[in-house]
Chains A and B, each alone.
Chain A
């Protein structure tokens, strides 16, 4: 058995065990309806977490994703409702703006030699501020396209609904797994996370890769914003507050090493599902308050960080 797969297996085992416990208490949780809602409700966070996975794999962090999601929803609402553009054109513009925003942050991180968290912190302020300058109030989106997309779904056996936004998330994960493990860009990201100096000496284009990573992260945050606007049919500058923390937690719970260079996109998917499970369980239980979600996610985060340290230490001792 490949040792590098162990954290991924541990995460999967914990997820299955937790799901089993939940199902024993509430048999209703074992249905495709719940699964469908899982995918729909966590779609925007999952998509943002994919971008965050690449950033963390490269040894950085992106605090701006929640703000970029919020900004994108406002931008889409403004383009559709005030300028009467077609939603698809609005989506294209929003994705381009988001990706460019990320590229600029990546360039700042590389050329100014500042830690990623302070650059993306500035990006977070800028995106939230920019969104509320565009419109401080929530803008509802009414458009045929929106209502038809949010109504369409594939019926799964058992009555579960696989919605369009759920499918978008699954497609993003599939594409990201290929991008991470089957392309030159993916290898470059891992190399950069292992050691920037070694990567540069091996001939990895550090500047280009760094810029591409943050453009990808912000672009995916933009896509998450598109999904969020489809999900809520509204644009608001305070949408998706704190999603960056959930995304980072999902990546860490998914077994990606925070120092970079090691991890799996598929693990992030499990991390997202585990957080969804906690939320769904609390809804099913009914007696627990919603703040337990935060505590449980915090505890999970702590457990996985400690687990990583132990695995990492055991690995280095053997060498």
Chain B
């Protein structure tokens, strides 16, 4: 297989059991990376790793709740034990709660902030020293178009994704001198379970919600594979001069109004 861009690399991907995380794990493996997948969802995570192995790639699955420091430690330890390093970290795990602050409970606030933001801190602080020691690495965070612009009935999701965008920039400043690049992706609506879950939270039919979501210049929602390509770009040497940036991949959704 010629010219695989991640040959010899090792990636750790959170939220890798489904959606964008799973598509990214699969793409990274096809490009030659050994992939460690973690997720709360054991069944999905195992099947994601199994698919990769069946196609001749290298993958492991370690279940974890990435909002817990000890779980993050276990995932990193297992990855090091199996593959001997970590060159790329994709902090992809995320959940959404469609509610205004009036509808939102304190428990929902805490859970969304923990999964979408704190997990990045907990995992990155373990992985950065490993990358620094190895002479560098690439970290990609999952933000959102709603980390740049606000959305209706999405208060804590927007707060969490705005936090991810700025955490990306702050980490890029702190670790650039260690040759660690830190970037984030800001996808628009993408055809995943989360999108269908949103429709249910808002009490809308899937068809109606998906057709609303498609109202953007490209006239459709994104595919997980399209977001995975953006993660591949940021994680690979193709982006060797890119750090602290927020890459919008949204079919033009944030391009403007009119």
| Chain B associates with chain A | no
Residues of A that sit less than 8 Å from B by CB: none
Residues of B that sit less than 8 Å from A by CB: none
